[in-house]
Amino acid sequence: MQINVLTLFPDMFTPLQTSMLGRGLEDNKWQLNLVNFRDFTADVHHHVDDAPYGGGAGMVLQIMPIKRALDSLKNKGKVIITAPQGKIFNQQVAQNWAREENLTFICGHYEGFDQRVYDMADEVVSIGDYVLTGGELPTMSMIDATIRLLPGILGNAASPIDESFSHGLLEYPQYTRPENFEGMKVPAVLTSGNHQKIAEWRHKEALKVTYLKRPDLLEKYVMTTAEKKMLSE
């Protein structure tokens, strides 16, 4: 997958070039194309923004350099703008995007875009109901959540399947050695060697932790008869 990012601050994107995602870049499992849309301005001062028509405080990012930067791309794929007014990003969106060949993110900074920039986007997406100074951090979060789902990015191929949100539930608790740390013990079922019982326990715990911490997720979760029976035992 190739990801294009239109930004005024390409240097902010080093975290994506580190650790597992960085190794994925080196192994050509995905590509990151950072484009500074200031390079597409026509004036000597390289302005990317201007005062809003109709007056008012602040500046507005202009359509021209962004449209020219978009037109310079060979493979745009889905065009995404990160902004607080977008729909909220979640694991389902990451899973859908992970199936795309190309994605292009447009990051604003400090100020909003000319409405015609939003109109060019396929999706406007937010990471939550709070406002950041720019779209770079949200874009990095979304790229991370998407790229880690691609084959060969995570060390353990099975890990994105069992994690939080992948089945609409939070993840069950995990334990590792020692079995007893200062009296804090690992649940006995996990050391029993009974795989059927372990799977049941994990599923029950996932339902429990979701009910206790994120009951809103259960509103969308359709429980099977077997799950209802398991919970009543």
Residue 24 contacts ligand ADE per CB under 6 A: no
Residue 84 contacts ligand ADE per CB under 6 A: yes
Please, what is the minimum distance in Å from the beta carbon of residue 29 to ligand ADE? 26
Residue 131 contacts ligand ADE per CB under 6 A: yes
The residue among 131 and 212 lying less far from ligand ADE, judged by its C-beta, is 131
Q: Which of 69, 70, 106, 135 binds ligand ADE (CB under 6 A)?
A: 135
Residue 138 contacts ligand ADE per CB under 6 A: yes
The residue among 140 and 169 lying less far from ligand ADE, judged by its C-beta, is 140
Sign (positive/negative) of CA torsion 216, 218, 222, 228?
negative
Q: Quick one: which of 122, 148, 126 has its CA closest to 139?
A: 126
At residue 192, what are phi and psi to the nearest 5 degrees? -80, -20
Three-class SS state of 104: strand
Residue 187 contacts ligand ADE per CB under 6 A: no
Please, what is the minimum distance in Å from the beta carbon of residue 71 to ligand ADE? 23
Tokens describing residue 131 = 């406002």
Give the whole-angstrom CA distance, residue 225 versus residue 111: 51
Residue 7 contacts ligand ADE per CB under 6 A: no
The residue among 31 and 85 lying less far from ligand ADE, judged by its C-beta, is 85
DSSP 214: -
CA angle 77, 81, 85 (to 5 degrees): 145
Please, what is the minimum distance in Å from the beta carbon of residue 10 to ligand ADE? 17
Residue 73 contacts ligand ADE per CB under 6 A: no
Residue 62 contacts ligand ADE per CB under 6 A: no
Please, what is the minimum distance in Å from the beta carbon of residue 126 to ligand ADE? 4
Residue 130 contacts ligand ADE per CB under 6 A: yes
At residue 25, what are phi and psi to the nearest 5 degrees? -65, -45
Peptide bond into 178 cis (omega under 30): yes
Give the whole-angstrom CA distance, residue 141 versus residue 121: 19
Which range, of 124-132, 187-195, 203-211, 215-223, touches ligand ADE by CB under 6 A? 124-132
Which range, of 17-25, 122-130, 168-176, 198-206, touches ligand ADE by CB under 6 A? 122-130
Lookup result for tokens 């998407």: 146
Give the whole-angstrom CA distance, residue 27 versus residue 69: 27
At residue 118, what are phi and psi to the nearest 5 degrees? -60, -35
Residue 25 contacts ligand ADE per CB under 6 A: no
Contact footprint for ligand ADE (CB under 6 A): 82-84, 126-128, 130-132, 135, 138
